[in-house]
Structure 1
Amino acid sequence: MRAWVVDRPGPIGSGPLVAVDRPVPEPAAGEVGVRVLACGVCRTDLHLAEGDLAPRGERVVPGHEIVGEVTGLGPGASRFRPGDRIGAAWLRGTCGSCRFCRAGRENLCPRARFTGWDADGGYAEHAVVPEAWAYRLPADLDPVTAAPLLCAGIVGYRALRTAELPPGGRLGIYGFGASAHVVAQVAIAQGARVHVLTRAGTARRLALELGAVSAGPADGVPPEPLDAAITFAPVGELVPVALRALDAGGTLAVAGIHLTPIPELDYGRELFRERTLRSVTAHTRADGEEFLRLATALRLRPRTVRRRLQDAAATLADLAADRITGAAVLDPAAGPADGA
């Protein structure tokens, strides 16, 4: 099968992603084999390729927004049947016995495993997925549309909840990529006033198309104080900027697995008056199930850019250079006309 692996992590221009031919993987106990129908391209994949996240194995296949069709069952696997449509997300497994797992906070498990980091992911024609960590998807849901929901959507939804936005509140979103543009749709559908702050002009235009009240530069000031904010851009310098934009009692949620250093904070300007700074770590299966039900009810449709599997390296380079508006999705079945 065709696949991509992270060979030698480094700047995306150095070619850290390498195309390879590999045997189709066989599902082990409790796993299912899937034919990959689509795999979303996440900024975390870029962090892995560039070495911002230390490799956890040699030549791992990245990709953790997998939509696939079940092709085979490993020993003991019984939750799905061949032909079923399923999704796989970032969190791939936990110990199930630590204090976090027992408390329903499996996202904090110290022995958690992640798709495309600890085990091969979806930048390939086939993959294997632990059945206990897979999501059942409607057969009629377009795979390219569904793929970004599986990480950008789920983790973004957790970030929105972590920010504790009150009903009808004022939300600031810093950075407007795959996750942010899904979260904005959820917040707007629930009655929030959304202000987007991001450096890319195309992303600002998309934000306004989706119903944002305003869209300005990443280091700008929203036109009204915010009840809550989320930073999706992996830029630590935006943390004090977003804190200063909060009203009294507001909460800033920092989403993303990697962040450049945060400057020294000024207590009086940025934290006083009970402003709260929180981080977001992965997601739980409950988050995934809840968000996917909500996405169906709201008929969420991420703005996607379909790319060929063979163009995975070029797609990551485009993501690094802010040339992707919305969410990029790799389609193993895509032909030349879909590579734009």
Structure 2
Amino acid sequence: MVAMQIDAPHQALRRVERPVPRPGSGQLLIGVIACGVCRTDLHVADGEIPARYPVIPGHEIVGHVLEIGAGVEGFDIGQRVGVPWLGHTCGHCSYCLSDRENLCDAPEFTGATRDGGYATHVVADAHFCFALPEGFSDVDAAPLLCAGLIGWRALRLAGEGGRIGLIGFGAAAHIIAQVAVWQSREVYAFTRDGDTQAQAFARSLGCCWAGASTQRPPAELDAALIFAPVGALVPAALTLVRKGGRVVCAGIHMSDIPSFPYADLWEERQILSVANLTREDATSFFEIAARSDLRTITETFPLEQANVALDRLRTGALTGAAVLIPPRIDAAAGSHG
């Protein structure tokens, strides 16, 4: 198999060749068709979140089942599946036993603590593989597996308010903005200062207002979802939400939050964080994706241009989501071409 591997934090990914792995009990061997590029991959590359190195990143994986491990039921050879960030849970800690597996005490994460999808092949826990909505191509489905899922969990934590702000208009925001509009909510998009292209993109997706993160929207918000990893945006967002409103931090990593006046939090405003996802998040979101008019905007890169795609993401030079395309594999032989 061919893969792009991170050997240590702050190093560029490098191309490696390895034997095709075999699935163990409860696992699937998947031939990767497409893998989205997520900001979390940057955090892995920069050593900002726990990971084991060397590691193959990538957790927005779309592929076909090539081999089925012992004890696995409900999957067929050739079936299209998706693999997300949460790759395994213990199943017996207090969180797993109370339907909060996203907070598991002993989790594994695809592309961080276990090898991910920047490769031609990946082995995944079958319990954390999902059928994908039929109406999405392989490339268009890839961003659903993290940008979509984390955005969906953040939107659910935001509550039922009708006015939603999205701060940082990248891969996640461009997906969940469409879901919120489909739900008949007003969506307000906040971008980098001067990024008129992103603001026009947000309006094209149904946002009723788009402006810079330093601007105030024309109405008070019921909730603000922060996708940019900038801690200073948290106190700023608190000043935009109404009494009883919520600020939801949707990233896995964020710079430190500066001090702010208690008055900005008072009147029962809340700050919440999103941690990972659950399998129920996936099933409910994919149902919404299939029913709504959701579309993903993607830009594709060959697998070996993973560093280019990550650099584009880091500098904010992407519209929508980047997706890596591995070299074509021979499913029967498990080889690459």
| Fold shared by both chains (TM-score > 0.5) | yes
* Alpha-carbon offset, residue 315 of structure 1: 0.4
> In the alignment, what sits opposite 1:97?
92
- Equivalent of residue 35 in structure 1, options 31, 37, 56: 31
1:117-147 superposed Cα distances (whole Å, 9 cap, x missing partner): 1110000011111111110125663110100
> In the alignment, what sits opposite 1:2?
2
> In the alignment, what sits opposite 1:129?
124
C-alpha distance in 1 between matches for 2:214 and 2:271? 18
Aligned partner of residue 16 in structure 2, secondary structure: strand
C-alpha distance in 2 between matches for 1:297 and 1:111? 34
Aligned partner of residue 153 in structure 2, secondary structure: helix
> In the alignment, what sits opposite 1:71?
66
Comparing 199-208 with 149-158, greater Cα deviation is found at 199-208
> In the alignment, what sits opposite 1:338?
none
| Aligned residues between the structures | 326
CA contact (8 A) 1:100 1:106 kept: yes
> In the alignment, what sits opposite 1:266?
261
* Alpha-carbon offset, residue 163 of structure 1: 1.1
TM-score, scaled to structure 2: 0.94
> In the alignment, what sits opposite 1:238?
233
Aligned partner of residue 119 in structure 2, secondary structure: coil
1:138-193 superposed Cα distances (whole Å, 9 cap, x missing partner): 56631101000011101110000111132xx1111100111111110000110111
C-alpha distance in 2 between matches for 1:71 and 1:145? 21
* Alpha-carbon offset, residue 101 of structure 1: 0.8
RMSD: 1.2
> In the alignment, what sits opposite 2:48?
52
> In the alignment, what sits opposite 2:77?
82
- Equivalent of residue 319 in structure 2, options 317, 325, 333: 325
1:233-274 superposed Cα distances (whole Å, 9 cap, x missing partner): 000000011110001111111001000010102111x21111
C-alpha distance in 2 between matches for 1:72 and 1:201? 47
Residues 110-189 of structure 1 aligned to structure 2 (within 5 Å): 110-138=105-133, 141-166=136-161, 169-189=162-182
> In the alignment, residue 3 of structure 2 is paired with which amino acid?
A
> In the alignment, residue 273 of structure 2 is paired with which amino acid?
S
1:48-105 superposed Cα distances (whole Å, 9 cap, x missing partner): 00111133x2211000000010001112222211110000000011111111111100
CA contact (8 A) 1:79 1:131 kept: no
CA contact (8 A) 1:165 1:171 kept: no
Aligned partner of residue 72 in structure 1, secondary structure: strand
1:250 equivalenced with 2:245 (yes/no): yes
TM-score, scaled to structure 1: 0.93
* Alpha-carbon offset, residue 333 of structure 1: 4.4
1:17-62 superposed Cα distances (whole Å, 9 cap, x missing partner): 111111111111110111101101000001100111133x221100
Residues 266-305 of structure 1 aligned to structure 2 (within 5 Å): 266-268=261-263, 270-305=264-299
C-alpha distance in 2 between matches for 1:79 and 1:25? 21
Comparing 69-78 with 186-195, greater Cα deviation is found at 69-78
1:300-327 superposed Cα distances (whole Å, 9 cap, x missing partner): 1111111111111110011001111101
Aligned partner of residue 287 in structure 1, secondary structure: helix
> In the alignment, residue 183 of structure 2 is paired with which amino acid?
Q
In structure 2, runs of 5+ residues without a counterpart are 329-337
> In the alignment, residue 215 of structure 1 is paired with which amino acid?
A
C-alpha distance in 2 between matches for 1:298 and 1:235? 31
CA contact (8 A) 1:165 1:228 kept: no
Aligned partner of residue 252 in structure 1, secondary structure: strand
Aligned partner of residue 322 in structure 2, secondary structure: strand
Q: Which runs of 4+ in 1 moved over 3 A?
A: 138-141
Aligned partner of residue 292 in structure 1, secondary structure: helix
C-alpha distance in 2 between matches for 1:234 and 1:201? 20
C-alpha distance in 2 between matches for 1:220 and 1:174? 11
CA contact (8 A) 2:133 2:287 kept: no
CA contact (8 A) 2:6 2:57 kept: yes
CA contact (8 A) 2:89 2:108 kept: yes
Comparing 32-41 with 198-207, greater Cα deviation is found at 198-207
CA contact (8 A) 2:32 2:119 kept: yes
Aligned partner of residue 205 in structure 1, secondary structure: helix
